[in-house]
């Protein structure tokens, strides 16, 4: 059984198929001194951004700023879903492997 969504045409743009071992947090929040709730990884360039429930919404901002980077993967423990901003479609991409160690959200501490 496959969870591939045939309506997302961006799967071939994925460059990151192995998740980083660990990340420090949302790149943009760390630079700007902001706080994040959940972390998302750009599957095109590896940019780490924060979710739409974070004040910065940097994952969405990254996808909007770089229109060729439509796909993200959740970096939250136990979450394996990906999201295409262009197709507004959630999916699982089993080719992406690895587990990323992330710091606790500064909003929750």
Per CB under 5 A, residues contacting Zn ion are 8, 10, 26, 28-29, 36, 42, 44-45, 47, 50, 56, 58, 69, 84, 86-87
79/68 Cα distance (integer angstroms):
24
H-only helix segments in 3-102 = 27-32, 58-65
> Nearer Cβ to Zn ion, position 69 or 73?
69
Shortest Å, Cβ 29 to Zn ion: 3
Shortest Å, Cβ 51 to Zn ion: 9
19/52 Cα distance (integer angstroms):
21
């Amino acid at each position: 059984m496959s969870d591939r969504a045939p309506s997302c045409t961006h799967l071939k743009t994925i460059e990151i198929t192995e998740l980083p071992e660990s990340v420090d947090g949302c790149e943009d929040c760390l630079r700007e001194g902001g706080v994040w709730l959940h972390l998302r990884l750009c599957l095109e360039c590896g940019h780490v951004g924060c979710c739409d429930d974070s004040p910065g919404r940097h994952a969405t901002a990254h996808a909007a700023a770089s229109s060729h980077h439509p796909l993200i993967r959740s970096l939250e423990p136990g979450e394996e879903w990906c999201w295409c901003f262009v197709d507004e479609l959630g999916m699982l991409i089993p080719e992406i492997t690895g587990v990323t160690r992330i710091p606790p959200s500064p909003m929750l501490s």
